[in-house]
Structure 1
Amino acid sequence: MIEKHAAEEWDILMQPDDKVYKNYLQILKEELVPATGCTEPIAVAYAAAKAREVLGTLPESCVIAASGNIIKNVKSVIVPNTNGMKGIAAAAAAGIVAGDASQKLEVLSDIREADKAQIQSYINEHELIVVPADNDMVFYIAATVKYGNEEVTVVIEHFHTNIALITRNGIKLYESGASGKVNESHGLTDRSCLNIRDILDFIQSVRMEDISEVIGRQIDYNTAISAEGLKDNWGANIGKVLLSACGNDVRTRARAAAAAGSDARMGGCEKPVVIVSGSGNQGMTASLPVIEYAKELHASQDKLYRAVALSDLVTIYQKTGIGRLSAYCGAVSAGCGAGAGIAYLYGGDYDVIAHTIVNAVAITSGIICDGAKPSCAAKISAAVDAGIFGYYMYEHNQQFLDGDGIVTKGVDNTIHNVGALAQKGMRQTDREIIRIMLRKTGKPGIAAKD
């Protein structure tokens, strides 16, 4: 049993007019956006829908060129509102036939029942080709659509909604200036200001009116899809298995809540989620365990909102060094974030929260990302458990120390080590994962019924 303790006095230095305060607010607004469906197939659908919009008519053919990480994350996940189809071809067809590009990551949210049959018909009756992108970019989607002599290409790079280039018949209609650059934060607020001490300062200083909308929406949306995951039959039903096999204590409920949200989302549930670092699984992992602990502790709404925002920012901070997509499972970062948020709910100060993060990182770093699919929910459960256990360890005067593997002195230094491991050290791991995943069919695009 963990003994609650009062937090030490915080040195609240940040003011609403400070640049860092404004940057942190903007980072939350940029990251905490709604998405319907797994974000990689949705990005494909968005590119295809935008290309069709610019073309002005239903195209006779479509070619999707995608980076390996996009192929990996789209191959095995159900695209929402497609009657259970999977793969890049299904996502592109859905975007072309019935997508609304103006809704970006909710591009497929308003598809009518009558449109779903048309998606399969389009795949059957039109040329829809998927090819690996001819570049080394981690995040790259190019949708090229044709009708007669007209041809339109839309390119998305670096993150899910970043349209870098639009051409028509070889003529540039739009170019963001980011094309080909490796800095995936282009167009977003500079994340170099993130560090654990300033994050905690911001969390204590932030006015509720400044975060209530974005955090409130995250809580509402993600709670709703988690409830759906526990109610009906989705994916591998990891959330239900946890509650059935492991009991109903708060630690199990926290794991089950996050896993159930992933169960539903990977299974094609049409409810939206609020994402973090481009991922709905990370958005749910960062928020749902914290919400469950807040209920258990009868925390105030103010405390809950600050704890969720803390978890979000800790997740974003870790993912900044790792990148949007990699061989490193993003749920690990979000599980560490959840552990930090839970420690905060218990009154943890800087030392408690910093050690919680380091302990959690030491436990689960190295879990691979082999694409979006039902097993993501099980990885989420493990990551949340590590975050919670990282806090339990420190409360029992135990911690991992400098020199224990990738752990080094200082929480920020350890986070930077993880970024280097994931972004640089695991590049070849990522290539091998993609090669293994595509070995069976040899095709990056699949349109199949689940």
Structure 2
Amino acid sequence: MKKEQYDNYINILKEELLPAMGCTEPIAIAYAAAKAREVLGNMPESLIVRCSGNIIKNVKGVVVPNSGGQKGVKAAAILGMLAGRADMQLEVISTVSPADRDNAKYLCGLGICQCELQENEENLFIRVEVVRKNESAAVEIRSQHNHIARIERNGKVTFEQKDLAVSSSGDKSKLNIKDIIEFANKVDLSAVEEVITRQIKYNSAISEEGLSHEWGAQVGRTLRECGDDIRTKAKAAAAAGSDARMNGCALPVIINSGSGNQGIACTMPVLVYARAIKADREKLYRALLLTNLIAIHQKRFIGNLSAYCGAVSAGAAAACGIAYLHGADETTIGMTLTNTLGTTAGIVCDGAKASCAAKIASAVEAGILGYEMACRGRVFPFGEGLVEGNYEQTIRNIGRMGKVGMKATDIEILHIMLGK
């Protein structure tokens, strides 16, 4: 592998595998609100939050961490404005005190925050406008949950970057399965050890929290009560992390493609299998590198937010990581990916909420089935549906369907959720 490509993959991992507390959409709103208050230089008297439909969809049904059980755009924005630390980005409300939480609830009741749907914008768009007397400030987030694209002070633009910063960013267009496998095989682990160690630590902790306590619909706990085989354990561990995260657990997670659920789904099945087969630490780390990059590779064609459930991409990637743990070659990994996407691609995203845990479990199950088929040399025939003559084209087909083909589905889901 060329050094340029090698360094590119390391940069992608470092910029994608970030810590976040709670569902990333309400956290991004809280981040924008905290930054807007910082720019204003004083506590606002009122605020308006303008969001794309996908943001509203993913905030509507999920509990905002440290909010005392509140849901929705207004709760996230007011908590971020009141007590958020913008310098902590996606952990912006991790230091909220009980007094802050109670004050935020009180302010929500006063109706100081308005939420408006911003149409004709990209799927990931947040604009928070704050006002105090004759002073105002506004912050816009686009493209990525922690990417501030525009700042205004009293109506004047003080900062703007239309595109994501590229000075140290990785180029995702260079991702492909063959090179991902080569990178996983050859990378000096010291270059990425800190990132993967943190992913294992954080995502394992929230998974254990979901298995140990009654969060949401308790999908993970239900699965664990149904069986003790490795397959069920893998699904339960992934689902349990989502159980906790979707229902207000304040533990941080390491995200993948802007999603904590996807980060958990990438991590836990691979970790469960590694422990079961007694894989050594090096093999586990290399398998997780492969898993994360394959998940990111799929999502670059779809986008971070759409009507396509990201758990499918993560579950497929996790299955590829499991295959790698067992010594699979490129052909078997490609067949695993093809089989998984041929099974569950098309599950809709109708917002972040408790049922995400069950979708994760379904995606992991499909991934494991896809791997078991691949182990036996079985793969869905090329040319059937979206399955193509090679796995790279299959990934592109699924991406086109998720990004372009499901646009109308996304709009209709939002209309239904908003009662239109």
What secondary structure is seen at the aligned counterpart in 2 of 1:399?
coil
2:100 partner amino acid: D
State how far apart, in whole Å, the 2-side matches of 1:43 and 1:108 are: 10
Given that 1:281 and 1:331 are in contact with CA atoms closer than 8 Å, whether structure 2 keeps it comes out as: yes
Where does residue 18 of structure 2 map in the other structure? Answer: 33
Following superposition, which runs of at least 4 residues in structure 1 exceed 2 angstroms of deviation?
183-189
- Within the candidate set 67, 72, 77, 2:52 is matched to 67
**Cα separation, partners in 2 of 1:259 and 1:185, compared to 1, 3 Å:** farther
Where does residue 346 of structure 1 map in the other structure? Answer: 326
Where does residue 380 of structure 2 map in the other structure? Answer: 400
Where does residue 38 of structure 2 map in the other structure? Answer: 53
CA drift of 1:186 comes to: 10
Where does residue 143 of structure 1 map in the other structure? Answer: 128
Where does residue 3 of structure 1 map in the other structure? Answer: none
Where does residue 226 of structure 1 map in the other structure? Answer: 207
**Are residues 1:123 and 2:108 paired?**
yes
State how far apart, in whole Å, the 2-side matches of 1:292 and 1:84 are: 31
- CA displacement, residues 281-325 of structure 1 (integer Å, 9 cap, x when unaligned): 000000100000000000000000000111100000000000010
Given that 1:35 and 1:273 are in contact with CA atoms closer than 8 Å, whether structure 2 keeps it comes out as: yes
**Cα separation, partners in 2 of 1:248 and 1:330, compared to 1, 3 Å:** same
* Structure 2: stretches of 5+ with no match in the other structure: none
Q: Percent identity?
A: 50
State how far apart, in whole Å, the 1-side matches of 2:161 and 2:325 are: 42
**Are residues 1:201 and 2:186 paired?**
no
State how far apart, in whole Å, the 2-side matches of 1:311 and 1:407 are: 21
**Cα separation, partners in 2 of 1:57 and 1:267, compared to 1, 3 Å:** same
Given that 2:11 and 2:168 are in contact with CA atoms closer than 8 Å, whether structure 1 keeps it comes out as: no
**Cα separation, partners in 2 of 1:371 and 1:297, compared to 1, 3 Å:** same
**Cα separation, partners in 2 of 1:376 and 1:402, compared to 1, 3 Å:** same
**Are residues 1:44 and 2:67 paired?**
no
Where does residue 237 of structure 1 map in the other structure? Answer: 218
Given that 2:279 and 2:325 are in contact with CA atoms closer than 8 Å, whether structure 1 keeps it comes out as: yes
State how far apart, in whole Å, the 1-side matches of 2:137 and 2:148 are: 13
Where does residue 356 of structure 2 map in the other structure? Answer: 376
- Within the candidate set 176, 182, 185, 2:161 is matched to 176
Where does residue 271 of structure 1 map in the other structure? Answer: 251
State how far apart, in whole Å, the 1-side matches of 2:364 and 2:166 are: 27
CA drift of 1:427 comes to: 0.3
Where does residue 96 of structure 1 map in the other structure? Answer: 81
- CA displacement, residues 65-92 of structure 1 (integer Å, 9 cap, x when unaligned): 0000000000000000000000000000
Where does residue 287 of structure 2 map in the other structure? Answer: 307
**Are residues 1:217 and 2:198 paired?**
yes
Given that 1:184 and 1:323 are in contact with CA atoms closer than 8 Å, whether structure 2 keeps it comes out as: no
State how far apart, in whole Å, the 2-side matches of 1:382 and 1:103 are: 33
2:174 partner amino acid: C
Where does residue 109 of structure 1 map in the other structure? Answer: 94
Deviates more, 1:396-405 or 1:344-353: 396-405
What secondary structure is seen at the aligned counterpart in 2 of 1:276?
coil
State how far apart, in whole Å, the 2-side matches of 1:115 and 1:350 are: 52
CA drift of 1:124 comes to: 2.0
1:114 partner amino acid: A
CA drift of 1:173 comes to: 1.0
State how far apart, in whole Å, the 2-side matches of 1:213 and 1:174 are: 32
TM-score by length of 2: 0.98
- CA displacement, residues 222-280 of structure 1 (integer Å, 9 cap, x when unaligned): 000000000001011000111112x1111000000000000000010000000000000
- Within the candidate set 206, 228, 233, 1:248 is matched to 228
State how far apart, in whole Å, the 1-side matches of 2:167 and 2:148 are: 11
Number of aligned residue pairs: give it: 420
State how far apart, in whole Å, the 2-side matches of 1:317 and 1:185 are: 18
CA drift of 1:115 comes to: 1.1
CA drift of 1:199 comes to: 0.3
State how far apart, in whole Å, the 1-side matches of 2:366 and 2:16 are: 24
State how far apart, in whole Å, the 2-side matches of 1:187 and 1:87 are: 34
Q: CA RMSD in A?
A: 1.3
* Structure 1: stretches of 5+ with no match in the other structure: 1-13, 443-450
1:222 partner amino acid: N
1:54 partner amino acid: V
- CA displacement, residues 396-436 of structure 1 (integer Å, 9 cap, x when unaligned): 23210211210001110100101100010000000001111
CA drift of 1:177 comes to: 3.3
CA drift of 1:187 comes to: 8.2
What secondary structure is seen at the aligned counterpart in 2 of 1:286?
helix
- Within the candidate set 149, 156, 172, 1:164 is matched to 149
State how far apart, in whole Å, the 2-side matches of 1:285 and 1:368 are: 17
1:224 partner amino acid: A
State how far apart, in whole Å, the 2-side matches of 1:351 and 1:70 are: 38
Larger RCO, structure (CA 8 Å, separation 6 or more): 1
Given that 1:38 and 1:79 are in contact with CA atoms closer than 8 Å, whether structure 2 keeps it comes out as: yes
State how far apart, in whole Å, the 1-side matches of 2:208 and 2:165 are: 34
State how far apart, in whole Å, the 1-side matches of 2:269 and 2:95 are: 29
CA drift of 1:390 comes to: 0.5
**Cα separation, partners in 2 of 1:405 and 1:381, compared to 1, 3 Å:** same
State how far apart, in whole Å, the 1-side matches of 2:31 and 2:217 are: 28
